[in-house]
Structure 1
Amino acid sequence: MTLLRDAELAAAFDRAARSYDTLVAANPGYHAQLRRSARRLGLPDGGRGTRVLDLGCGTGASTAALAAALPEADITAVDASAGMLERAAAKPWPDNVTFVHAPAERLTEAGVGGPFDAVFAAYLFRNTAAPDDVLSTVRELLVPGGRLAVHEYTLSGRAAHRAVWAAVCGGIVLPVATALGDGELYRHLWRSVVEFDTVDEFAARVRCSGFDGVRVLPLPGWQTGIAHTVVASRAVPAMAGVR
């Protein structure tokens, strides 16, 4: 199967927006794990005085996790799918949350500008055609020392974890999604995990993109070895004359 990209992928998410929340609600721990990853940004004082970018917000699950973990932050949530974003924006939100329709690759064109103190990206990078370009964009949007947390299905590389992912997708997710008429999207999502970086490969990719302090943190439950939080900071330039 050829993975969906760009406009095709956004259109598939548009079509699936109506049932997306129903499907993810069936995933044990889905929302709790997003909140865990949001807390791993490590911003103090509930994010008071900070700007946070929620990159690839979907129907707002990651935005809700950020709003819970960082109630004092100014949160800008963006997504390439108009259908998903419409679902997200229709939910009740505090005044510090703003939604913008924009693909991760063209944020500036949509008026999304830095600097941000932190970027949160859930289930995004394996769905981009050029993850290195998106990481470069994220780095430029962050203040020096700004925080990045990537919440992603990134397999450990162990055969057992790959087998669990295949069993869950083949036995549960794909049959339900197909019955709902969204089989094409969820076949893509299954393959996108298998064909993307292992978590150690992704961590190396983040380091090569100008981030320091890169750490891989596991997520609990059935997704152990399948989903991880990768946290990092934008590298701080060395001061001239300082050795």
Structure 2
Amino acid sequence: MAASPEEKATRVRRMFSEIAPRYDLLNRLLSLGADLRWRRRAVALALEKGPRRILDLATGTGDLALLLKASAPEAEVVGADFAPPMLEIARKKASARGLSVAFQEADALALPFPDGSFDAVTIAFGFRNFADYRKALAELRRVLAPGGRLVILEFPPPPKGAFGLVYRVYFQRVLPFLGGLISGSFGAYRYLPESVEAFPPPEALKALMEEAGFSVRYELLTFGVAAVHVGDL
């Protein structure tokens, strides 16, 4: 029996709170450093139109939010997440780097911001964890100003072909073992491949974003291991 949206949200919040202390190390190790390149591409796309207020949703430990602020010091950057332990680490990182980013707890399906609050919204590897994709997209459109941009960096289901086969073995077997060993949470790293396999492929996510009112394009990164979707209002 499938979990309800509420059950999924509770499970994901608890899981990411548990792995927060090892989250950054695991991201680097398990992606072999590729996630840094992917984030830089997402930042470049988010900043193309010169946004003055940016929301990084599902910010985790703040990597993308801090990269946005470092790349656009004049912009106001807000990082939001529903896992307080992640936000604690993000605040410490911001302080250590001398970057002014406001980090706050927030639910993606009921954002605590007025309509049209942001010129850009970014989400890196967090959208698939939302309990209701359509409701999340409606909220994201609500908080974006006219002409605003949404950038979603995410893991689509593994690509087809020989590379996809090798990657699927790594993703389903090696990654959960290594992630569980390092973090102490085998459940969290079993969830990761499960959530990726269940996530809409790039064309389907594009269609969902268009249904929500965005004009959408996307790029496949590293042979389709990751994808970045750009939605403009």
TM-score, reference length from structure 1? 0.84
Q: CA deviation at 1:9?
A: 0.9
The aligned runs of 1:10-159 (5 Å cut-off) are 10-26=13-29, 27=31, 28-44=33-49, 47=51, 50-91=52-93, 92=95, 93-94=97-98, 96-108=100-112, 112-113=113-114, 114-155=116-157, 158-159=160-161
- Identity of paired residues, percent? 30
Stretches (4+) displaced over 6 A: 1-4
Aligned-residue RMSD, C-alpha: 2.1
Task: Using the TM superposition, name which of 151-160 and 67-76 deviates more.
Answer: 151-160
Name the CA distance, whole Å, in 2 between partners of 1:96 and 1:144. 26
Of 183, 191, 196, the residue aligned with 2:194 is: 191
Q: Which has the higher helix share?
A: 2
CA distance in 2, matches of 1:107, 1:179: 35
Q: Structure 2: how far apart are the matches of 1:138 and 1:162?
A: 31
Partner amino acid for 2:82? A
Please name the residue that 1:238 is paired with: none
d(CA) in 1 for partners of 2:70, 2:170: 29
Q: Superposed, which structure 2 residues align to 1:221-236 within 5 Å?
A: 224-234=223-233
Shift of 1:204: 0.7
Residues 194-231 of structure 1 deviation map (CA, whole Å, 9 limit, x = unaligned): 0110011001110000112x1011223xxx21211100
Q: Which amino acid aligns with 1:149?
A: V
> Relative to 1, partners in 2 of residues 1:160 and 1:200: Cα closer, same or farther, differing over 3 Å?
farther
How many residue pairs get aligned? The number is 224
Partner of 1:211: 214
SS of the residue aligned with 2:89?
Answer: helix
Give me the whole-angstrom Cα distance separating, in 2, the residues matched to 1:186 and 1:160: 24
Instruction: Name the residue aligned to 1:7.
Output: 10
C-alpha distance in 1, partners of 2:85/2:163? 32
| Alignment partners' CA distance in 1, 2:167 and 2:68 | 26
Shift of 1:94: 4.4
Asked if 2 retains the 8 angstrom alpha-carbon contact of 1:35 and 1:69, the reply is no
Do 1:31 and 1:61's aligned partners in 2 also have CA atoms closer than 8 Å?
no
1:26-75 CA distance string (max 9 Å, x none): 12221121011111124355x4xx10000100011111221233222100
Separation of aligned partners in 1, 2:212 and 2:125:
19
Which sections of structure 1, spanning at least 5 residues, go unmatched? 235-243
Contact residue 27 and residue 35 of structure 2 kept, 8 A: yes
Distance 2:121 2:98 in 1: 19
Q: List alignment gaps of at least 5 residues for structure 2.
A: none
Aligned to 1:240: none
Residues 194/73 of structure 1: CA separation in 2 closer, same or farther (3 Å cut): same
**SS of corresponding position for 1:229:** strand
Distance in 1 (CA, whole Å) between partners of 2:170 and 2:65 is 26
